[in-house]
């Protein structure tokens, strides 16, 4: 591996993440079949995040324990986006070279939490796969950053040629 390979991985993770926001993530039945056609509607990444926070924006009493659990998972999954952005900033910022083991574990835990959408049996699309891949690539970048730091290789942040 070349030096600073983790920066390229971090940038790739961020690029994949941004693309996922504008690609179809899920197909759902129409909310108002009278107003729209009976065709399922496609939700893009940015819309899926808003939907994930809908239990907070439009609180309602869950009908069952499973409904309550799915609301908690939905909001937690939405919050993983904030974790992703914070870790990507920490990793790609020039102020700090390495990110700790706990941060890497948190990114992996976020990826596992986001797998809950597969378990819920939703009709997932390419945007979801890209979104999940961005978490995996970010975790790999954090791991590589830690690995290079453990080798005690002093890498200059910029060349002055």
CB atoms within 10 A of CB 98: 16
For residues 31 and 64, what is the distance between their CA atoms, to the nearest angstrom?
Answer: 21
Closest CA to 77 of 115, 106, 105: 115
Say what the pLDDT of residue 35 is.
Answer: 47
> What is the pLDDT tens value at each position of the chain, 161 positions in all?
454 688 889 899 999 999 998 888 877 654 444 444 555 667 777 777 777 777 777 777 777 776 777 778 888 888 999 999 999 998 888 665 567 889 889 999 999 988 887 777 667 888 888 999 999 999 999 888 887 766 654 555 555 55
For residues 94 and 150, what is the distance between their CA atoms, to the nearest angstrom?
Answer: 18
For residues 144 and 136, what is the distance between their CA atoms, to the nearest angstrom?
Answer: 12
Say what the pLDDT of residue 94 is.
Answer: 66
1 Cβ contact partners less than 8 Å away, ≥ 6 residues apart: 144, 148
Half-sphere exposure of 137 (CA within 13 A, CB side): 19
Could you tell me the two tokens for 56?
A: 């907070």
**Cα separations in angstroms, 130 against 19, 54, 100:** 8, 22, 25
Say what the pLDDT of residue 84 is.
Answer: 94
> What share of the chain has pLDDT > 70, as a percent?
75
Contact 54, 44 (CB under 8 A): no
Say what the pLDDT of residue 17 is.
Answer: 92
């Amino acid at each position: 591996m070349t030096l600073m390979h983790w920066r390229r991985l971090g940038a790739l993770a961020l690029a994949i993440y941004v693309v996922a926001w504008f690609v179809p993530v899920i197909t759902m039945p129409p909310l108002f079949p009278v107003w729209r056609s009976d065709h399922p509607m496609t939700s893009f990444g940015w819309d899926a995040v808003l939907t994930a926070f809908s239990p907070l924006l439009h609180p309602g009493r869950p009908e069952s324990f499973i409904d309550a659990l799915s609301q908690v998972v939905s909001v937690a999954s939405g919050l993983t986006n904030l974790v992703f952005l914070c870790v990507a900033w920490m990793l790609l910022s020039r102020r700090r070279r390495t990110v700790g083991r706990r941060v890497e574990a948190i990114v992996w835990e976020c990826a596992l939490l986001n797998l809950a959408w597969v378990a819920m049996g939703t009709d997932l699309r390419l945007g979801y796969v890209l979104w999940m891949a961005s978490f995996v690539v970010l975790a790999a970048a954090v791991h590589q950053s830690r690995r290079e730091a453990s080798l005690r290789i002093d890498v200059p942040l910029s060349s002055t040629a």
